[in-house]
């Protein structure tokens, strides 16, 4: 019995590899692997949010068949360990070989990541009638220089466990890893298949969509299916119709309104208010300093600034970004950027 799922993007999540929308080349290749009951380490590449992890998961589940539960593990390389995990890792501590960035020289996070999240799993032999286990690692490039450790893992435990590494930035992957994997480029769904998908959802949910709306939806979301379905759901919610205006209206909601407000406050010179808002954003969304700066940077072009004003603001953010690398207190570093923008606003 299927429960009625209130969230459309989950409701319309493909449940098998076949149900994946579009990407038939990729699907065919993966099916061949399933048929030959073997595949090398894989590296899935493609823009963010287009379905790489879902495809990897469905592929693995089909490959492993009924034995997939104990033999499949999905880990997120960008999520820091909890304090319990860190304490456990400390006993087998690795010093981070990162020479740069926040993690430099620290005795926690990523190498411990391999210790805690991956090693215990790959060491245990595969259970049931499967040739090997599978580990899916999402956002693999965030491991930066600790990818070396991973390489050794791939070599030593490769026969018992295959890796499916997922990344959106190939430049962030070190060569030794690339050369040990079969690269699989995963493109976003194309426009035609996207329109078919949207029409199906609309029909099921009994919504009327204006002509041409699907194309605009594709443009706004850049082919990211989950985001598109989210937007469709929100836009249609009050009266079961979706028009282009409604799409644009509602897409603003996702456009990080709070960030925009923060930027506007600083450009009006309201430091105190800006700091309070930035603290609120931080406690809700838990961005790192760099992530917050990137969001502010992205919002900049949406504000009508002259070309030199824009250039100056960017330079201010760049300086603050560099300074924040070694900074310990994110509130101070953020306040630094806010105060500079507030000061700069007096010249606008």
Partner 1 sequence: MIVRLIDLETPWVEKYRPTSFGEIVSQNAAINNLKDFVLKEDIPHMIFTGPAGTGKTSTALIIAKTMVGKKSYHRNVLELNASDTVRMDYVRTVIKNFINHSLIIEKNSLKFVILDEADNIPGQVQQTLRRIIEKTSNSVKFILMCNYINKIIDPIISRCAVFRFANLSREMVINRLKFISKQENLKIPKEKSVEFFETLYFISGGDLRKAINTLQMSVALEMLDDLDLDELFKISGYVDKNTMNRLVLNLNNHNMGKIKDLLGSIENFDSRNFIRQIVEILPKLNINKDKQPLINAFIGEIDYRISQGADERIQMTALLSELMRGR
Partner 2 sequence: MSESSLNKMPWVEKYRPKSMSEMALPSAKLKGHKVDLSEELKKFIIIFFQEKKKINDENHKIKSFNRTHEEKEQKKLIKISPDKVAVLLEGPPGVGKTSIVYALANDLNLDVIETNASDVRTKKGLESKLNESIKSRGIMDFISQSKDKILLIDEIDGLYGVADKGAVPTILNIIDSTQFPIIMCSNEYKQNLQPLYNKIHKLEINPLSQDEVLRIAQRILIKEKITNLQEGMINSIIEKNHGDLRGVINDLQGISQGSSGKLDSELINSLNRDSTEEIFLIIRDLFQNVSTLKQARDLTNKSDVDYNFLYKWVNENIPSFIKLNSELAVAYDNLSIADEIFGRIQKTQNWSTLPYFYDLFAGGVSLSQKSRKENQGFRKVSFPRYISTGMFSLNANERLVVEKIKKKYEISEIEAIQDFLPFLRVLASVSRKQLKLVSDWLELDATEKKLLKIDS
β 208-209/241-242 pair status = parallel
- Return the bridge partners of 183, or none: 43
Q: Does 193 bind partner 1 (CB under 8 A)?
A: no
Query: Could you give the string, one character per residue 149-178, with x where binding to partner 2 holds by CB under 8 A and - elsewhere?
Result: ------------------------------
316 exposure class (CB count in 10 Å sphere: 0-12, 13-18, 19+): middle
> Using CB distances below 5 to 8 A depending on partner kind, what does residue 243 bind out of partner 1, partner 2, none?
none
**CA–CA separation, 38 vs 20, rounded Å?**
21
Strands (E), the chain: 42-45, 72-76, 133-138, 161-167, 182-185, 208-209, 241-242
Query: Could you give the string, one character per residue 89-128, with x where binding to partner 2 holds by CB under 8 A and - elsewhere?
Result: -------------x-xxx----------------------
What is the residue-wise DSSP string for 178-244?
HTTSEEEE-PPPPHHHHHHHHHHHHHHTT-EE-TTHHHHHHHHHTT-HHHHHHHHHHHHTTTSEE-H
Minimum Å distance from CB 336 to partner 2?
4
Query: Could you give the string, one character per residue 38-67, with x where binding to partner 1 holds by CB under 8 A and - elsewhere?
Result: xxx------x--------------------
Compute how many other C-beta atoms are within 10 angstroms of the C-beta atom of residue 199: 12
Return the closest-CA partner of residue 164 out of 145, 182, 143, 189.
Answer: 182
> Using CB distances below 5 to 8 A depending on partner kind, what does residue 348 bind out of partner 2, partner 1, none?
none
Minimum Å distance from CB 245 to partner 2?
18
Side by side, which strands form the sheet with 133-138? Answer: 72-76, 133-138, 161-167, 42-45, 182-185
**Count of residues that interact with partner 1, criterion CB under 8 A:** 52
Are the beta carbons of 233 and 8 closer than 8 angstroms? yes
The one-character DSSP state at 126 is P
Cβ proximity to partner 1: between 243 and 290 the closer is 290
Render the burial of 299-312: b for 16+ CB within 10 Å, e for the rest.
beeeeebeeebeeb
Residue from 44, 59, 140, 293 touching partner 1 (CB under 8 A): that is 293
**CA–CA separation, 228 vs 213, rounded Å?**
11
- Segment 306 to 335, residues that bind partner 2, using CB under 8 A: 320, 323-333, 335
Minimum Å distance from CB 175 to partner 2?
26
Residue from 9, 178, 260, 340 touching partner 1 (CB under 8 A): that is 178
- Segment 125 to 144, residues that bind partner 2, using CB under 8 A: 138-139
Are the beta carbons of 98 and 145 closer than 8 angstroms? yes
Kindly list the residues in this chain that would bind partner 1 in the complex (CB under 8 A): 32-33, 36, 38-40, 47, 93-95, 97, 99-102, 104, 111, 146, 148-149, 152, 169-171, 175-176, 178-180, 182-183, 185, 290, 293-294, 297-298, 300-301, 307-308, 310-312, 314-315, 317-319, 321-322, 325
Kindly list the residues in this chain that would bind partner 2 in the complex (CB under 8 A): 3, 5-7, 10, 13, 53-54, 57, 74, 76, 78-80, 82, 102, 104-106, 138-139, 230, 233-234, 237-238, 253-254, 269, 271-272, 275, 279-280, 282-289, 320, 323-333, 335-336, 339-340, 342-343, 345-346
């Amino acid at each position: 019995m299927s429960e009625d799922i209130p969230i459309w993007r989950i409701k319309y999540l493909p449940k098998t590899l076949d149900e994946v929308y579009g990407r038939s080349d990729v699907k065919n290749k993966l099916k061949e692997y399933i048929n030959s009951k073997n595949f090398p380490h894989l590296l899935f590449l493609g823009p963010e949010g287009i379905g790489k992890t879902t495809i990897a998961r469905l592929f693995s589940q089909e490959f492993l068949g009924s034995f997939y539960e104990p033999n499949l593990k999905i880990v997120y390389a960008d999520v820091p360990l909890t304090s319990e995990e860190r304490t456990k890792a400390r006993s087998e501590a690795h010093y981070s070989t990162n020479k740069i960035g926040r993690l430099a020289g620290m005795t926690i996070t990523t190498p411990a990541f391999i210790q805690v999240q991956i090693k215990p799993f790959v060491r245990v032999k595969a259970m049931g009638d499967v040739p090997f286990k599978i580990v899916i690692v999402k956002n693999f490039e965030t491991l930066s220089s600790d990818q070396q450790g991973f390489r050794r893992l791939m070599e030593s435990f490769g026969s018992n466990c295959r890796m499916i590494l997922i990344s959106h930035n190939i430049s962030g992957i070190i060569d030794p890893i690339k050369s040990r994997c079969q690269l699989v480029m995963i493109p976003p769904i194309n426009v035609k298949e996207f329109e078919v998908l949207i029409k199906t959802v609309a029909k099921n949910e009994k919504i009327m969509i204006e002509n041409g709306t699907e194309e605009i939806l594709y443009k706004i979301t850049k082919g990211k299916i989950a985001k598109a379905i989210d937007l469709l759901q929100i836009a249609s919610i009050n009266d079961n119709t979706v028009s282009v205006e409604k799409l644009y209206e509602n897409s603003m909601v996702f456009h990080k309104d709070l960030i925009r407000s923060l930027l506007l406050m600083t450009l009006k010179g309201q430091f105190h208010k800006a700091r309070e808002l930035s603290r609120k954003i931080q406690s809700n969304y838990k961005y790192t300093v760099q992530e917050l700066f990137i969001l502010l940077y992205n919002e900049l072009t949406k504000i009508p600034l002259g070309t030199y004003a824009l250039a100056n603001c960017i330079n201010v953010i760049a300086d603050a970004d560099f300074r924040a690398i070694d900074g310990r207190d994110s509130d101070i570093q953020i306040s630094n950027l806010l105060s500079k923008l507030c000061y700069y606003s007096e010249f606008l």
